[in-house]
Structure 1
Amino acid sequence: MARRLALITGASAGIGAASARIYADHGYDVAITARRGDRLEALAQEISLRFGVEAIPIVADLADPAAPAAILEAVAAHGREVDALVNNAGYGLNGTFAATDWIDQRDSLQVMLTAPTELVHRVLPGMVERKFGRIVNVASLAGLVPGSVGQTLYAGIKSYLIKFSQSLHLENLNTGVHVTALCPGFTWSEFHDVNGAREMLNASTPAWLWLGADEVAASGYEAAEANRPVCVTGAPNKAIAAFAKLIPDDWALALMAGQGGRFRKV
């Protein structure tokens, strides 16, 4: 029997690259997609040599509405179907909503909300038919706490991914398809280098709040195998998420009011 195939978006670095290695280590072939072709080619070669599986690099920009269909067409051109999907591609924008360009906000919605939703919709029927599927939507702790300054769409998108995953989890009970929203907090990756917040975060956040991308990706894999609808990574983040549920909304919002400037350029 052919090995199962995992499709990972945003796979050129961070949680995406770590997820590709973890699925390969568990015997999956992988299709990895991102914008940076050189990174993808290098990762594909590493995975093939290290784990002895097939690694298919697919260069695509999820800001293009045609990208999800094109990615799955590339997978099909290799005679493959998607057995596991990790919707990981994402990034943060700097600035308040009014101070940013609409095109940038539109693209963030396409990359982090519309594209992952479309990918799930396209691969889910086949998973149900084959009675096997794993879907990990990489959300964030930001989706479980009140929104803060400078996270105008980001937090809302991540909250959507959590609710979306919970509903999918319930709709697919007893089908063999497992759905998980992975909710990391601060993670060592290129995410904060891209939005220019690395130096600010290093100065304002303690080391014990941070997890490695490998640890986060492993938690996502394990949660999907166990069919847990939501996985918050790390004890401190679990405590923060629980605390946010317990206190009144106006208290929680007041606590967040002054935090945006610590975590993101605004």
Structure 2
Amino acid sequence: MTRRLCLVTGASAGIGAAIARIYAAHGYDIALTARRVDKLEAVAADIRMRHGVETLTIPADLAEPGAVDRILADLEGHGRVVDALVNNAGYGVPGRYAETRWDQQAAFLQVLLVAVCELTHKVFPGMVERRFGRIVNVASLAGLVPGTAGATLYGATKAFLVRFSQSLHLEGQEAGVHVSALCPGFTFSEFHDVTGTREQVSKNTPPWLWMGADEVAAAGYEAAEANRAICVPGAPNKTIAAIAKLIPDDWALALIAREQGRFRRG
């Protein structure tokens, strides 16, 4: 019998690679997609060695229109369908909105919003028809708290993913399709290296706010299996999310502005 297949985007490092390993450990074949071919192949080789499952690597840049169709065509060519989908690909555009170029923001929206919706839209009907599916949308704690200055579309996009996941969660639950939004806070990964904020963030963020990518990935897998619509891993992050629900937005914005000022001053 053919094993089920899990497709993970942004799978070359961090949470994506970690959650791919977890699905493999639970008997799924794995399809990995990201831009960096060498890192994809390294993750795939490690998964094959550790878990003995089939791994497919599909280099793709989700910022390019048509990338989703090319990924799914590749899987179809291997005779595979997507039983579990992890929408993890993402990054940040640092700087204030007026200081960035529109092409940067357009590419960001294509990867973190449009491609997620398109890929999900194209695999969701098959999951419903087969009466089985798992979808993990990697959002962020930033999607559950008021917006911050800088990286302006990041929190807004993650908030969209949370609401998107909640709606799909309701649409899929009678068909055996589980949908969860994974909302981590600060996570040890390459995210801040890519945005060039590693030194500043590491210096100004207390160690107890950080989690490992493996911890976050495990929480995401467990939430999807339990069919929880939202997963906020880690007690500190849960506390922050709860407080954000309770206090008025104007208080929260004033608090965030103050903390951002302290952060910039170190």
5+ residue gaps, structure 1: none
User: What corresponds to 1:142 in structure 2?
Assistant: 142
List aligned pairs for 1:178-257, cutoff 5 A: 178-257=178-257
**Cα gap change, 1:233 to 1:262, in 2 (>3 Å):** farther
**Contact kept? 1:149, 1:259, Cα under 8 Å:** no
**Cα gap change, 1:189 to 1:108, in 2 (>3 Å):** same
List aligned pairs for 1:74-223, cutoff 5 A: 74-223=74-223
**Contact kept? 1:148, 1:259, Cα under 8 Å:** no
Instruction: Specify the SS of the correspondent of 1:121.
Output: helix
In 2, Cα distance between equivalents of 1:34 and 1:173: 29
Q: Percent identity?
A: 68
- Provide Cα deviations, 1:6-47, integer angstroms capped at 9, x if missing partner: 000000000000011000000000000000001111111111
Instruction: Specify the SS of the correspondent of 2:89.
Output: coil
Instruction: Specify the SS of the correspondent of 1:174.
Output: helix
Give me the TM-score of the superposition, normalised by structure 2: 0.97
**Contact kept? 1:40, 1:57, Cα under 8 Å:** yes
Instruction: Specify the SS of the correspondent of 1:135.
Output: strand
In 2, Cα distance between equivalents of 1:87 and 1:203: 30
**Contact kept? 1:84, 1:134, Cα under 8 Å:** yes
5+ residue gaps, structure 2: none
Report how many residues are paired: 265
| Higher share of residues assigned helix | 2
Letter in 1 for 2:237: N
Deviation at 1:262, TM superposition (A): 6.3
The Cα RMSD (Å) is: 1.3
Residue 70 of structure 1 pairs with residue 70 of structure 2: yes
Letter in 2 for 1:111: V
User: What corresponds to 1:9 in structure 2?
Assistant: 9
Instruction: Specify the SS of the correspondent of 1:95.
Output: coil
Deviation at 1:173, TM superposition (A): 1.9
Give me the TM-score of the superposition, normalised by structure 1: 0.97
In 2, Cα distance between equivalents of 1:12 and 1:132: 26
Comparing 246-255 with 178-187, greater Cα deviation is found at 246-255
Letter in 1 for 2:170: L
**Contact kept? 1:132, 1:177, Cα under 8 Å:** yes
In 2, Cα distance between equivalents of 1:139 and 1:41: 25
**Cα gap change, 1:261 to 1:73, in 2 (>3 Å):** farther
In 1, Cα distance between equivalents of 2:64 and 2:261: 31
Comparing 221-230 with 64-73, greater Cα deviation is found at 64-73
Letter in 1 for 2:134: R
